[in-house]
Amino acid sequence: MKRKSFILIAILTCCVLTGLRGVSAQRRSASGTQAKKSDNELHFSIPDVSVYDQNGKQLKFNTDLIKGKTVAINFIFTTCTTICPPLTATFRRVQVEAGPNVNLISVSVDPTTDTPERLKAYADKFKAGPGWTFVTGNKADIDKLLAAFGAAVADKNDHTPMILIGNDSANYWTRAYGLSPATQLSAIIKAAAEREAAKTQH
């Protein structure tokens, strides 16, 4: 009888320990998921450097293009023949999908070559509509901008395929893969924009 009781107690102990390990694993998994979500939120100190758009207009990057707006930013250069054309084509689809209220910004990682005139021709090639600004400028200023966004590279061909999506009014930034479907990117931009509305309502 004592032997049977001992076996029963041992079985029950194993079951309890197994259950505790399962709960612990679930908690670790949940914690990891939450950390991943938190990691996707970004924070930038954006320099208000002078830049030029594709029409040759001089702008202050932060004041004129970011402040108070919801924006999506990608990084391109006009002589790129690999990832830039599909990145830019995706932005065009996003502009059509999201409508005229979306603010798109394409920052050249090769400002020495990419004059406003070259950016204008590039923008026209992809049928960029109003609200889509192509940015170039003094190399030192553009380098500061790229560094602030974590997009600085030694070789322009190694520039990031990621896009940055931000809502300045809500102090919210995130990133997404620049070749994701336009509908998916538009949804992320819309969600970012709605953070401003939620903040205003409270």
123-138 per-position pLDDT tens digit? 999 999 999 999 999 9
182 part of a folded domain: yes
Residues 35 and 56 reside in one and the same domain: no
pLDDT tens column, 188-197: 999 999 985 5
Same domain, 13 and 87: no
Which tens digit of pLDDT belongs to each residue from 26-80? 333 333 333 333 446 778 899 999 999 999 999 999 999 999 999 999 999 999 9
102 and 174 in a single domain? The answer is yes
- Report the candidate in 78, 91, 146 with the shortest Cα–Cα distance to residue 117: 78
Vertex 145: Cα angle to 140 and 151 (nearest 5): 110
Question: Do 195 and 103 lie in a common domain?
Answer: yes
Q: Do 77 and 101 lie in a common domain?
A: yes
For residues 83 and 172, membership in a common domain is answered with: yes
Q: Which residue has the tokens 């990084």?
A: 75
Q: Are residues 157 and 69 in the same domain?
A: yes
In a domain? residue 45: no
pLDDT band at 120 (very low <50, low <70, confident <90, very high): very high
pLDDT score of 86 more than 60: yes
Show the domain range for 3.
1-39
Say if residue 78 is in the same domain as residue 144: yes
Check whether residue 103 and residue 59 sit in a common domain: yes
Would you say residue 165 has pLDDT above 50? Answer: yes
Read off the amino acid at residue 34.
Answer: Q
Instruction: Mark whether 17 and 56 lie in a shared domain.
Output: no
Q: Which helix (H) or strand (E) holds 163?
A: strand 162-167
pLDDT at res. 40: 63
- Tell whether 78 and 2 lie within a shared domain: no
Average pLDDT over residues 144-148: 96
% of residues, the chain, pLDDT over 70 = 77
Structure token digits, residue 10: 């041992």
pLDDT of 121 higher than 80: yes
The number of domains in the chain is 2
Bigger pLDDT: 17 or 181? 181
Q: Say yes or no: 26 and 64 in one domain.
A: no
Residue 111: the pLDDT is: 97
pLDDT of 3 over the 50 cut = no
